[in-house]
Copies of this chain bind each other. A is one copy, B any other.
Amino acid sequence: MPPKSPLAPETFPDLPVIAGVRLSAVAAGVKYKNRNDVMLAVLDPGSVVAGVFTRSATRSAPVLDCQAKLAGEGGEGAAILVNSGNSNAFTGRAGDGSVAAICAAVSAATGLPEERVFTASTGVIGVPLPHDRIIAKLDEAVSALSTEAIADAAGAIMTTDTFPKGAFAEVSVGGQTVKIAGIAKGSGMIAPDMATMLVYMFTDAKIGRADLQKIVSEANARTFNNITVDSDTSTSDTLMMGATGASGVDVTGNADFATAVEDVMRDLAHQVVRDGEGATKFVTVTVTGAATDADARTHALSIANSPLVKTAIAGEDPNWGRIVMAVGKSGAAADRDRLTIRFGDVLVAEKGWVAESYAEEQGAAVMKQPEIPINVDIGLGDGSATVWTCDLTHGYITINADYRS
């Protein structure tokens, strides 16, 4: 077990209770011993659920099942069951069978129809999921359901994570308050689309399914889809958000609510990067002046995914030449002689040339910080994008040359 990331928040946040959501965590021994590895969430009748998922062509059986069920209208409440230790991915027809068996058992234990039971699995790929172990613990999980158990749930879904991840927001709408709380797991195999993770968010706001889906999809494009640890994309990426309506406050069309959802998602996305395998630096890559926003994102991801950029950052080396290289190889439009590169506020290079004002000590000082802003202006247009990543260290090699994920 690697030590806690040096970039981890000091404490897990005190997440608010979301009325209409009960959670529990139990130890089913799917793979890990002596720890919780299953979380159950049950949303009251009237809840709606939205979601976004990996676009991998080799998505796991639970992802395919969730996507099919989300197409329905719902409204009857929902259950979400997640296990860690085994991803039930590339497990053939047996994988579909495990999903069906779990959904039937959760339906029987909770009284919800099967089409309102959503599952996810995270861990080793290609090993049959011992779903009997999970089903044997369902009664215990249902009995333990509580409005206070979200922190336990955040712990149960961890795999190589070194800390549990949570975030929340409260929004005032017409003098009344609605709450949003979310948890996430993920630390490797992290890249768009969408960062390799499981994310569950809940709110007591009242909103239609389609409206919630739109908010979640749009915020996802600016948050989880703009983080990368290692450019690898999981077969199991899942983000689901349930709205119970228990507050009675209708947030349809409310911009503050949408902003708060995005804020919680960005917070969780940053925590995933901060727990990037072996990470010692949190890096924000901002590209401006690209021909289009899409070009800006292409450049930013090329920089953020470059092993040579990431190892330079690990070595606290202000190696801006590697950033020029990454811009050049991205495939998006660029002109060597119009590039401007800044580390934080330090002007490093401009007009195809190191800046006259630049001294290497200035860049080196920025590189020593735990949080490093890399700002690149392409000099061609108005396109911009921000991507978050971490460095590439010996820790990443140690974790991934040994861990069988």
Count, chain A residues at interface, CB 8 A = 68
| Chain A positions 385-401 with a Cβ under 8 Å from a chain B Cβ | 392-394, 396-398, 400-401
Knowing A334-B57, A401-B314, say if A325 contacts B94 (CB, 8 Å).
no
Residues in B neighbouring A337, C-beta threshold 8 A: 92
Q: Is A146 part of the contact surface with B, judged by Cβ < 8 Å?
A: no
Interface string of A100-131 (1 = CB under 8 A from B): 00000000000000000000000011110000
- Assembly CA distance A317 to B265 (angstroms): 34
Known contacts A324-B90, A393-B401, A397-B393: A57-B333 contact under CB 8 Å: yes
Q: How far is the CB of A87 from chain B (nearest CB, A)?
A: 8
Looking at the assembled complex, report how far the CB atom of A277 sits from the nearest CB atom of chain B, in whole angstroms: 9
Residue of chain B at shortest CB distance from A337: B92
9-residue interface stretch from A19-27, A197-205, A351-359? A351-359
Segment of A73-81, A207-215, A230-238 in the binding face: A230-238
Output the least CB separation between A97 and chain B (Å): 12
Smallest beta-carbon distance A54→chain B, Å = 8
Distance in Å: Cβ of A94 to nearest Cβ of chain B? 7
For residue A62, CB closer than 8 A to chain B, the reply is no
Complex Cα gap A93–B337 (Å):
9
**A167 interfacial by beta-carbon distance below 8 Å:** no
Chain A, 269-328, CB within 8 A of any chain B CB: 305-308, 311-312, 314-315, 317, 319-322, 324-328
By a CB distance below 8 angstroms, the chain B residues around A405 are: 308, 319, 321-322
A321–B233 Cα distance when bound, in Å, is: 12
Which of A's residues lie within 8 Å of B, judged by CB? 54, 56-59, 89-95, 124-127, 188-189, 191, 230-235, 305-308, 311-312, 314-315, 317, 319-322, 324-330, 332-337, 339, 349, 351-354, 392-394, 396-398, 400-402, 404-405
| Other A-B pairs, 18, CB within 8 Å; known A312-B401, A393-B397 | A57-B332, A57-B336, A90-B349, A90-B353, A92-B353, A126-B354, A127-B354, A189-B325, A231-B306, A231-B307, A232-B329, A233-B325, A307-B392, A311-B397, A311-B401, A315-B402, A392-B397, A394-B394
